[in-house]
Amino acid sequence: MRPLPCDLCGATTFARFWRGRDRDKLLTYLICTGCSMASMNPRPSAEELASFYRSDYRRERGIGDPWRTDSVSRHLISERQRAIQVIHLLQPYLSRGLSVLEIGCGTGFLLASLRDQYDAVVEGIEPDEHYAAYARDQRNVNVVASTVENFIPQKQYDLIVMVEVLEHLSSARRALLTMRGFLRTGGLLYVQVPDPYTHRTVALAHTHVFIEETLANMLIACGFSPVRVNTHKDAASSMPPYLLSGLARAGGQASPVAAPSYRRVLLKRRLTRAPVASLEALYAVRGRILMILRALLGRRVYEMLRKLYWGRLPSSEAPNTSPRPRDR
């Protein structure tokens, strides 16, 4: 099958970025030799993705149905932490009464927070019908079960937020051009994606792989002027900074930035990704490591260590290391 043209520059000359299996599907990622934009290629069409996200995606990730208490509490913890982080990052740009649209809003935690803290007039789009219903019923947020491509806005917004959604779409360019039309001129767009130098990135649901330069250039190509594009930590995770976010204004004139050559991108990923992958592997077996530590040190020393470490280690009374729900 012939690869799709580069979503950023339209070229058709690629090098291999990654190839492997994720959940029994063979995935191929190519990197454009001209602009260093990497994407799953070939990748599913917008229609195929829409059907996947309508019902399967949240469940495949183990998030499950929103009314199942165990899964919802887990999901809510990370949604809450992300919302706090996004509001913190956007704080200098937030004023009272903004109209806000969030794309892929999950259970609507961020939107409800913006409404409660800033009197924002909020709306959301969420492809999963159960999550959209949860946001409407539990948070009283106006959420439409739709994809960005099928959404018909009734007005232009001051702010659009898209947290870890852009890397899931069939064409990031088409989605950003569509969103440009949803924003008033001078309105703000906040997008957050994984940073491929530290994040695994390549996974069944991820269709695009952005680095700072290609994210900036994609925003510019779609009619935005970047305010800032940078990497940062995920508030919901103990892992090193593996998020990349872009804040941009609709309109204005910005010149494209020079991207590193695709060879440098591949080399940098090889050098930076491996140490994080080892940390992730350690993190995955941390429960077992803690059990061994407890057996070796005895309960008293272990409890002392636990207090020093912000109480984040599990108590020796309750050896369960799974996250405890802090939010309903």
Binding site for Zn ion (CB under 5 A): 6, 8-9, 11, 32, 34-35, 37
- Closer to Zn ion at the Cβ: 11 or 295? 11
Residue 327 has phi, psi (to 5 degrees) of -145, 145
Asked if residues 210 and 196 have their Cβ atoms less than 8 Å apart, the reply is yes
Could you tell me the end-to-end alpha-carbon distance of the chain, in angstroms, rounded to an integer? 47
Residue 121 has phi, psi (to 5 degrees) of -95, 110
- Closer to Zn ion at the Cβ: 79 or 213? 213
Closest CA to 169 of 253, 37, 322, 50: 50
**Residue 328 CB burial class (10 angstroms; 0-12, 13-18, ≥19):** exposed
- Closer to Zn ion at the Cβ: 107 or 217? 217
Give me the least distance between CB of 34 and Zn ion, in Å please.
Answer: 5
- Closer to Zn ion at the Cβ: 12 or 231? 12
Give me the least distance between CB of 200 and Zn ion, in Å please.
Answer: 23
Give me the least distance between CB of 31 and Zn ion, in Å please.
Answer: 9
Give me the least distance between CB of 33 and Zn ion, in Å please.
Answer: 8
Asked if residues 167 and 199 have their Cβ atoms less than 8 Å apart, the reply is no
Q: Cα separation of 188 and 214, whole Å?
A: 19
Give me the least distance between CB of 231 and Zn ion, in Å please.
Answer: 21
Closest CA to 108 of 86, 148, 73, 76: 76
- Closer to Zn ion at the Cβ: 262 or 302? 262
